[in-house]
Amino acid sequence: MQVESVRVVYATKTKHSKKIAEAIGSALKAEVSNVTDRPRVEEVELLFIVGGVYGGDSLPELLDFVRNLDGDKVQHAALVTSCASKKHRQEKVRQILAGKGIDIVDEFLCQGSFLLYKWGRPNKRDVQGAVDFAKGLQETM
């Protein structure tokens, strides 16, 4: 069964998550919003949450956004995490979603960079990896 309603939200400091979120939105023909614009999320089957990791944590504005989600309206969430280590996950986002009873279907780790470390990442192939992940979820759910 193909998921009918998909939304993409992101929070970003250095624009990587914006680039990834927009690529996913364009591939899935889904609305893309920056959480700083305080988007209203009504009934949605699959919500993609795209964000980086900073000192091990998500941005405060992303955590606020997730805290304000209505667990009765969001059926599933998928995390797309951009980080230099390619190891850090959006742990706090996960905890908040779990507390609301929102199912987390999967988390994709996309190679990011920090200063000179992994300079130039995410590159085209990294972004395509995130798009393929998102398409796969949309088709298989």
| Nearest residue (CB) to ligand FMN, 7 versus 16 | 16
Interface with ligand FMN, residue 13, by CB under 6 A: yes
Binder of ligand FMN out of 113, 129, 137, 138 (CB under 6 A)? 113
The DSSP letter of residue 86 is S
Interface with ligand FMN, residue 17, by CB under 6 A: yes
DSSP string across 10-47: EE-SSSHHHHHHHHHHHHHT-EEEEGGG-----SEEEE
d(CA 49, CA 41): 12
Interface with ligand FMN, residue 60, by CB under 6 A: no
Contacts (CB under 6 A) with ligand FMN, residues 75-94: 82-85, 88
Are 68 and 54 spatial neighbours (Cβ–Cβ below 8 Å)?
A: no
List contacts with ligand FMN (CB under 6 A).
Answer: 12-17, 52-56, 82-85, 88, 112-114
